[in-house]
């Protein structure tokens, strides 16, 4: 086990592991660390913990020292220069009439390079823009196109839940999210209901997906024919979280649905498959196939085209 401390260099984004050495660091402390591009200032996002060697990304660099007031003054000056560079670049983009949206500007640690992050619908010819910026700053210029999720993380904001965006507060990286998850969770397919501030599917769809998948594997489905304590009926609705089902009973004058616990019903017919009584000591019911697939992955094969994997574009 190796002791590591998590350091972030921005308010949002990935946290990196460093060797704290002999320093006793606390959450929020500003520190100077050694990076691949030289020394840089970051802050502690998670205090020192012991971590197995195979989970540590090598090489494990060290914390040089705690940040001094002079270091913090230099950092504030760097941020002011980045804001000035951002405004100048916006003016140059407008002058060139380029269809790109500038998101952020960031100076390198040694001040010899500046990176401009932007979004665009397609490819942009920014060669002349680079020349304009190089003439102003007289250092190396790099323009980097990023995705909508990266833009939301840099800009920040609030989600429809009223809290700060997950990507700005605690997510180290983006998790793949698919439209199939929204369908399995019974959510509306209205894009405005399932999309985040970035316009992509909300990251939080992933958080409870395992619980929904487990429930779907055990519970009846809408349209199944079941036997209930009050007789035979058809599943009209399934509450996956409460594990309750609404059943319309056959030969019942009352048209209202009856509600039962999923444990109280026995599946007789599921999407074209007839369930035969389970033999004594058997683990699963025998099934007679009548032509329709019962495999949830196979029945939802068309959803694979809707899968979205949002990764950082560089």
pLDDT digits (tens), the chain, 314 positions:
788 888 888 776 677 888 888 888 888 888 888 887 777 888 888 888 888 877 777 888 888 888 888 888 888 898 899 999 999 999 999 999 999 999 999 888 778 889 999 999 888 889 899 999 999 999 999 999 988 888 888 888 888 888 888 887 777 778 888 899 998 888 888 888 898 888 889 988 998 898 888 888 888 888 888 888 888 888 888 888 888 888 888 876 666 788 888 888 888 887 555 544 444 344 444 444 434 444 433 333 334 333 333 433 33
CB neighbours of residue 252 within 10 Å: 14
Pairwise CA distance, residues 285 & 234, whole Å: 19
Peptide bond into 76 cis (omega under 30): no
pLDDT of residue 165: 85
pLDDT of residue 65: 87
Q: What distances in angstroms separate CA 190 from CA 186, 197, 236, one per listed residue? A: 12, 15, 22
Fold of 219-292: SH3 type barrels. (2.30.30)
| Strand, helix or coil for residue 206 | helix
Whole-prediction pTM: 0.63
Both tokens assigned to 257? 């649905």
Q: 178 - beta bridge partners?
A: 307
Kindly report, as residue ranges, where domains of CATH 3.30.300 are found in the chain.
73-146
Taken as a whole, the chain contains a residue count of: 314
- Whether 240 and 209 have beta carbons less than 8 Å apart is answered as no
Q: Which CATH architecture has domain 73-146?
A: 2-Layer Sandwich (3.30)
* Long-range contacts, stretch 37-43, CB < 8 angstroms, 24+ apart: 37/108, 37/109, 37/110, 38/109, 38/110, 39/64, 39/109, 40/9, 40/109, 41/9, 41/67, 41/71, 41/72, 41/74, 41/75, 42/7, 42/8, 42/9, 42/16, 43/7, 43/8
Both tokens assigned to 292? 């329709």
Kindly report, as residue ranges, where domains of CATH 2.30.30.30 are found in the chain.
219-292
DSSP summary character for residue 62: B
């Amino acid at each position: 086990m190796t002791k590591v401390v998590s350091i972030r260099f921005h308010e949002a984004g990935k946290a990196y592991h460093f060797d704290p050495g002999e320093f006793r660091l606390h959450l929020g402390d500003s520190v100077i660390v050694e990076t691949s591009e030289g020394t840089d200032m970051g802050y502690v996002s998670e205090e020192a913990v012991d971590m197995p060697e195979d989970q540590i990304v090598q090489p494990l660099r060290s914390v040089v020292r705690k940040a001094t007031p002079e270091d913090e003054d230099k950092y504030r000056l760097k941020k002011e220069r980045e804001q000035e560079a951002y405004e100048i670049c916006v003016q140059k983009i407008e002058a060139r009439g380029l269809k790109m949206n500038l998101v952020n500007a960031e100076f390198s640690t040694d001040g010899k390079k500046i990176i401009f992050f932007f979004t665009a619908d397609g490819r942009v010819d920014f060669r002349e823009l680079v020349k304009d910026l190089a003439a102003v700053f007289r250092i190396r210029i790099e323009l980097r196109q990023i995705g909508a999720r990266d833009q939301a993380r840099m800009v920040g904001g609030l989600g429809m839940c009223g809290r700060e965006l997950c990507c700005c507060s605690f997510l180290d990286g983006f998790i793949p999210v698919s439209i199939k998850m929204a369908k399995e969770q019974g959510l509306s397919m209205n894009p405005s209901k399932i999309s985040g501030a970035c316009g992509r599917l909300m990251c939080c769809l992933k958080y409870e997906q395992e619980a929904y998948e487990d429930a779907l594997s055990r519970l009846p489905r809408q349209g199944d024919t079941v036997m209930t304590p009050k007789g035979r009926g058809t599943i009209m609705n399934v509450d996956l979280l409460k594990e309750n089902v609404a059943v319309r009973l056959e030969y019942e004058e009352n048209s209202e649905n009856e509600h039962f616990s999923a444990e109280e019903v026995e599946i007789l017919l599921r999407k074209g498959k007839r369930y035969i009584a389970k033999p004594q000591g058997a683990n699963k019911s025998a099934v007679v196939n009548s032509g329709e697939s019962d495999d949830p992955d196979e029945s939802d094969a068309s959803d694979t085209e809707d899968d979205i994997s949002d990764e950082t574009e560089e």
